[in-house]
Structure 1
């Protein structure tokens, strides 16, 4: 969260991120902080019974603390679905005139692009 605290204002000013991106950064910033909601974890050994407070994590799918294991599992699942064939990655660039429109309407633009290539 210190990186987010340090660079968030300049990042927001320069890139004007989408609300979903702002939400992701805010969730990661607040993840497992001392002021977050928490649960009490207690040792199950009857002689110990030590307890500690554990702050809740944000659970955001892009948070490296929360979802790294889930992301790795998803990647492995996708790799197992690959067909035994060669794959090619094609990259193209939208013309400058369309970039702002695409940035502001990502869902619609990606839907159109994927429809065109299928």
Structure 2
């Protein structure tokens, strides 16, 4: 089964080796939590089935707020709440790619930069 945790278990070591100290400590902690979630590295719980008497071992969850496994229910609840608030109109996503040379300027002047991008897009769509 494919999962974010599995992808991180495979690729995070190489990512951390490549970028090393440039990865903030908080990000490294999150990666560590998610990659250990439900693997047994955080301990586990043993359950016994009332019907058949079989023992079932389950690895503990990390509980990290960034973990998609641990926060799945909260995410679903949040998404349902947001969906209920949507207007009954068609929605779509627009993605703007900014040239690399302008990205740092845009990050430091977001209000003006995004306003300019949307203004240009509106003018182009009107023609």
Larger Rg: 2
TM, length-normalised to structure 2 = 0.55
Q: Which has the higher contact order (CA 8 A, sep 6+)?
A: 1
Deviation by residue 1:28-77 (Cα, 9 ceiling, x = unmatched): 121112332111111012xx211122110112222232223432321221
1:68 counterpart = 2:78 = no
| Structure 1: runs of 5 or more not aligned | 100-112, 114-118
| Structure 2: runs of 5 or more not aligned | 1-8, 112-127
Deviation by residue 1:84-106 (Cα, 9 ceiling, x = unmatched): 579898x895527959xxxxxxx
The answer for the alignment partner of 1:49 in structure 2 is 53
Q: Secondary structure at the match of 1:2?
A: helix
Number of equivalent positions: 98
TM, length-normalised to structure 1 = 0.59
